[in-house]
């Protein structure tokens, strides 16, 4: 990536990056960020302001792209604020009038990055430019520069078939500091669309969390791109991607968004950092711990708690033997569960597990922050990785997954073969009712148990 941008290069970047003939971004009535921003900039940085503003606007619009309906000849529409936009003029005006503050904040972020790039360039003149420091690896290029070459693959190879054997579903997460999550969001959207991959990806300043599906060719390309990406390559490795049979058909569409947290716990990363989790145990180490625990009498087990930090409907169809499974309906209720039951964890060794490991990262950090546990451990890679090594181990039943497959079976054991996994009558009846709004997205899930819970602040999706 370039370390600095000359005025001539800026003009070229503006021309190739932004071809918004339908909307003049220089109109101050459309985007009017705080005037104090320009006043605080030095002379050199002011020259980059126009470029930064246009780039911020372009990236924001890019993150709202969705596939056009099958009956349309064009390839792209846009979705924002629960509205669909079929042309650039309408989405541009919507963003300019309704999201000026977010574009302004992103403009400031880009200006900061451009300034950092210049400083990094100057500091690199006397060092080996082939090995730049991590802080220098800031996305300043177009999204297309970070996309793989797929010219050697046919469309059929990238398109997943309808059968489970035709493709693959990947589950992964990566905690790392991201300075520009909106740029990563635009890149991930473009990458998944290029590879015909569907699924859900959450991005925040604390990292990325994804579950995506596509053909085997597409998912292997996706992994290769992620492992070679300068932002993630020092944090991600091959084993961080949990795979299972499936494909693009396992998800209704592609959803990529920027949030405050990459797993919705309801606590700001500034208050609870991912950098203070429990001790990671490999599947083999975790297996030995459970084996030791189950070999003891109930009285001797009092020192250790095997904690399932998933939702109750997940643990109802599959769980580790001898576990404590909280009666919570959302992970954002986990902190209040811990707060109300601190005496249960006092001076105990806690062995935590979840589906893929990400909820344990935040959950174990929360437990540790309370300062009541003797030790806190977590299963690295979650149940997914454990079942890859021990399909007939101590996990009984099926593994709940948040896609169209509902659950995965690794062995013949079955738990809760009958009965509801819903938490109240309202939830049980909801499955047979149609959404009340004009679209499925307008339907808000409500039930008796939700009404009894304290409200959790909503995530801010950009």
Q: Which residues are catalytic?
A: 354
Q: What share of the chain is helix, strand, coil (3-state, %, to 5)?
A: 40, 15, 45
Alpha-helical (H) ranges within 195-240 are 216-228
Class of residue 18 by CB neighbours under 10 A (exposed 0-12, middle 13-18, buried 19+): middle
Residue 417 token pair: 């073969």
Pairing of strands 304-308, 349-353: parallel
Can you tell me the distance from the alpha carbon of 450 to that of 442, in angstroms, rounded to the nearest whole number?
A: 18
Question: Quick one: 202 exposed, middle or buried, by C-beta within 10 A (0-12, 13-18, 19+)?
Answer: buried
CB atoms within 10 A of CB 58: 20
Going by C-alpha positions, the residue among 144, 405, 34, 134 that lies closest to residue 250 is 405
Residues 6+ apart with CB under 8 A from 112: none
Residues 126, 110: Cα–Cα separation, whole Å: 26
């Amino acid at each position: 990536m370039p370390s600095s941008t000359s005025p001539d290069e800026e003009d070229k970047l503006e021309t190739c990056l932004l071809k918004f003939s339908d909307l003049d971004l220089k109109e101050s009535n459309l985007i009017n960020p705080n005037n104090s921003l320009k006043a605080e900039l030095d002379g050199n940085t002011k020259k980059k302001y126009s470029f930064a503003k246009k780039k911020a606007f372009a990236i924001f619009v890019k993150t709202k792209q969705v596939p056009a309906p099958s009956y349309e000849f064009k390839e792209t529409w846009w979705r924002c604020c629960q509205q669909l936009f079929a042309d650039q003029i309408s989405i541009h005006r919507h963003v300019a009038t309704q999201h000026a503050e977010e574009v302004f904040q992103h403009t400031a972020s880009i200006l900061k990055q451009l300034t950092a790039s210049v400083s990094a360039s100057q500091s690199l003149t006397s060092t080996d430019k082939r090995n730049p420091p991590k802080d220098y690896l800031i996305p300043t290029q177009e999204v297309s520069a970070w996309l793989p070459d797929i010219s050697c693959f046919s469309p059929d190879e990238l398109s997943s078939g309808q059968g489970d054997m035709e493709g693959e579903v990947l589950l992964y997460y990566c905690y790392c500091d991201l300075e520009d999550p909106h740029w990563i969001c635009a890149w991930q959207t473009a990458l998944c669309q290029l590879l015909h991959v569907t699924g859900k990806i959450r991005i925040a300043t604390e990292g990325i969390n994804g579950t995506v599906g596509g053909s085997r060719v597409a998912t292997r390309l996706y992994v290769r791109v992620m492992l070679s990406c300068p932002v993630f390559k020092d944090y991600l490795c091959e084993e961080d991607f949990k795979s299972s049979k499936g494909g693009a058909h396992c998800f209704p569409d592609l959803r990529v968004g920027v949030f405050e947290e990459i797993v919705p716990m309801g606590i700001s990363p500034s208050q609870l950092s991912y950098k203070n989790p429990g001790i990671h145990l490999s599947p083999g180490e975790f297996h030995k711990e459970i084996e030791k625990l189950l070999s003891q009498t109930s009285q001797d087990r009092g020192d250790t708690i095997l904690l399932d930090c998933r939702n109750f409907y997940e643990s109802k169809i599959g769980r580790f033997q001898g576990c404590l499974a909280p009666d919570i309906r959302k992970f954002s209720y986990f902190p209040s569960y811990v707060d109300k039951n601190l005496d249960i964890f006092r001076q105990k060794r806690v062995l935590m597990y979840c589906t893929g490991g990400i909820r344990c990262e935040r959950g174990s950090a929360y437990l540790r922050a309370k300062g009541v546990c003797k030790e806190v451990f977590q299963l690295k890679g979650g149940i997914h990785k454990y079942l890859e090594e021990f399909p007939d181990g101590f996990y009984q039943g099926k593994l709940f997954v948040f896609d169209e497959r509902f659950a995965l079976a690794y062995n013949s054991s079955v738990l809760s073969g009958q009965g509801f996994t819903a938490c109240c009558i309202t939830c049980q009846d909801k499955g047979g009712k149609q959404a009340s709004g004009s679209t499925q997205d307008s339907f808000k899930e409500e039930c008796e148990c939700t009404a009894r819970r304290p409200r959790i602040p909503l995530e801010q999706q950009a």
